[in-house]
Amino acid sequence: MVDSALIEEALERRKARRESFAGVSYVRLTDSLQGWPRGSVVLEDGTVVPGYPSIGRVLNLEQGLAQHFQAPFHAEEKVDGFNVRIVRHAGSHWAFSRGGFVCPFTTDRVPDLIDTSVFDAEPDLVLCGEVAGPGNPYLEGHPPEIQEDVVLQVFDLMRFGAADFLPVEGRRALLERHALPAVPWHGRFDVSQAADLRALVADLDRRGVEGLVLKEEGERRKRAKYVTPASVVQDLTAMGDALLDLPPEYFTNRLLRLVLILEESPELDRPELRRELGAALIDPLLDAAREHRTTHKVAHSFCSRFRSKENAERFVEHLRRIPQSEIHSTVRSLEQGEDGYWELRFDRVFPRISGLLGNFLSGGQVYD
């Protein structure tokens, strides 16, 4: 519970915004407020769904462990999807995005993603997990082993009104007890075991896994994330054709990551890696330029499944509200399949690269 006067003040100072979904209103924090991180949600009755704090990235495991960890820690798989918090509130299930919006897609699919009976036993639980798979409506990439639709993998548990995570051991036991899907757990390590972790990362890299999140035991609950070279190549491949619609740091930051990982772990370097990196930066954009001659645009196509038509329509509204430079979405179709699910097909259009390719392919000059 937070004081309603505090919320009113935050709304006035533009540190919070009032939102609504399916007739239910809530407030999301657009800035941190009195210990609640950005993305925290205040429900109608004053209940707080704590925001999910960001996790710092290290680019050197050995030094990173030495600098940040003081106790043993757990290594969990970092999954390539989007972060949600799922709760039960007023008899319904809600999934909140990182920014504190209700995600109409995940909210719609909650019954497919988890056995919601967990909330009978634990009504104040906040399930923090990653939604991943080719049916993901936000992201281009997905873990290679998820072949269709989406799955949820839980990586943290919180409780209403407490900006803190359950300890890893307790969380794992609770998830197992309720048969809830969890991110793969890769073991418990201490700071002297950087070499073991690097061997684990090499294995994950071969399997195309995104990386690891390390979570310290005890009161400090320090965390760090670390990615694989494969994830860099995947990210660049996924967005190579949107070269000028993302912040250019999307590309330069990932190159820096890749190089620092290789600096520490030469065993992750492979003869094919340079060719793969070059291909990631050439081929998606080259394909896009060729297609542009007929389509006159660069776009990514999505197909996501919904249980209810209403939620699919709410999702379309939601997409319009997400500010991501000038990237916009256009709906192609919304049709009910034989299995009763509504399939929403839409394109995400990249206006800047679309326009520039059109200009250059028709002979335009640039003074750069």
Q: Which is nearer to a second copy, 91 or 363 (CB)?
A: 363
Q: Which is nearer to a second copy, 223 or 300 (CB)?
A: 223
In angstroms, give the least distance from the CB of 349 to a second copy. 18
Is there a contact between 77 and 182 (Cβ–Cβ < 8 Å)? no
In angstroms, give the least distance from the CB of 319 to a second copy. 24
CA–CA separation, 321 and 324 (whole Å): 9
For residue 243, the SS3 value is: coil
Q: Which is nearer to a second copy, 209 or 243 (CB)?
A: 243
CA separation (Å) from 5 to 2, 10, 49?
9, 9, 18
Q: Which helix (H) or strand (E) holds 176?
A: helix 168-177
Residues forming the site for a second copy (CB under 8 A) = 54-60, 62-68, 224, 243-244, 248-249, 251-253, 255-256, 258-260, 262-263, 273-279, 281-283, 285-286, 289-290, 356-357, 360-368
In angstroms, give the least distance from the CB of 74 to a second copy. 18
Q: Which is nearer to a second copy, 180 or 194 (CB)?
A: 194
- Residue 86 CA to chain centroid, in angstroms? 14
In angstroms, give the least distance from the CB of 278 to a second copy. 3
- Residue 326 CA to chain centroid, in angstroms? 20
In angstroms, give the least distance from the CB of 228 to a second copy. 15
Is there a contact between 319 and 300 (Cβ–Cβ < 8 Å)? no
In angstroms, give the least distance from the CB of 36 to a second copy. 17
Q: Which is nearer to a second copy, 35 or 337 (CB)?
A: 35
In angstroms, give the least distance from the CB of 142 to a second copy. 21
In angstroms, give the least distance from the CB of 154 to a second copy. 23
CA–CA separation, 240 and 62 (whole Å): 31
Torsion on CA atoms 191, 197, 199, 201, rounded to nearest 10: -150
Q: Which is nearer to a second copy, 273 or 334 (CB)?
A: 273
Residue 251 tokens read as 């590309």
Q: Which is nearer to a second copy, 266 or 340 (CB)?
A: 266
Identify the residue whose tokens are 């390539």. Answer: 80
CA–CA separation, 59 and 159 (whole Å): 31
Q: Which helix (H) or strand (E) holds 186?
A: strand 185-189
Q: Which is nearer to a second copy, 22 or 259 (CB)?
A: 259
For residue 240, the SS3 value is: helix
Q: Which is nearer to a second copy, 195 or 286 (CB)?
A: 286
Q: Which is nearer to a second copy, 122 or 269 (CB)?
A: 269
CA–CA separation, 357 and 368 (whole Å): 15
In angstroms, give the least distance from the CB of 351 to a second copy. 15
DSSP 105-161: HHHHHHHHHS-TTHHHH-TTEEEEEEEESTT-SS-S---TT--SS-EEEEEEEEETT
CA–CA separation, 109 and 93 (whole Å): 10
In angstroms, give the least distance from the CB of 293 to a second copy. 9
Residue 216 neighbours by CB under 8 Å, 6+ apart: 69, 70, 71, 72, 73, 222, 223
